[in-house]
Amino acid sequence: MMSKFWLSQILGALLMMLMSGCMAADYQVKTEMLYGSNNCHGSQKEPSLKLIKNEKEWSAFFFNTMAAGKLPQPEVPEVDFTDSALLVIDWGIKSSSGYAIKFSENGSTIVNKELKINVVLETPSPGRMHALMLTHPCIVISVPDKGYDNIVVKDQNKKLFINLIIQNKE
């Protein structure tokens, strides 16, 4: 007959195996950059994230920011919102040229209902001349529309740039 010690060890090992199977694993998700600019014509002074989930929101955002001041007015780029959404990563207003947000090719993941996006933040090179003008760097990327409650954007140094907790999951 098996001793209580060995029985508890086996049951503990089985329990650990079962629990590890229930833990969320990292998995890669398809994300793609659709637009990037150093002048998105927004009014945000600080970094922000905006999740766009339908054509109406996309059209309003496009004409108020990316197409603002352009004549003739460009067509709204077509986006399939069937199983994706658009994420606008906005750095806010900057005081000179030389600032940019680049979408990192390191891949995006969902872990424990958290969508993790990596970006590269470029700043003006020290000692070089840059135009003194207001710029507004942003990028727009397609992301899955489900599977997460929080979006975390980290820079090239793995430092938190900005995050967004999804309030209304429709």
Report mean pLDDT in 10-residue bins for the chain, 170 residues. 55 50 67 87 86 95 84 89 94 92 88 94 89 90 93 95 79
Q: What is the pTM of this model?
A: 0.80
Which residue's structure tokens are 């709204």?
Answer: 76
Residue 8 within a domain: no
Q: How many domains does the chain have?
A: 1
Residue 126 within a domain: yes
Residue 124 within a domain: yes
Residues 6+ apart with CB under 8 A from 147: 29, 110, 113, 115
Domain ranges, residue 76: 25-165
Residue 19 within a domain: no
pLDDT at 157: 94
pLDDT at 55: 95
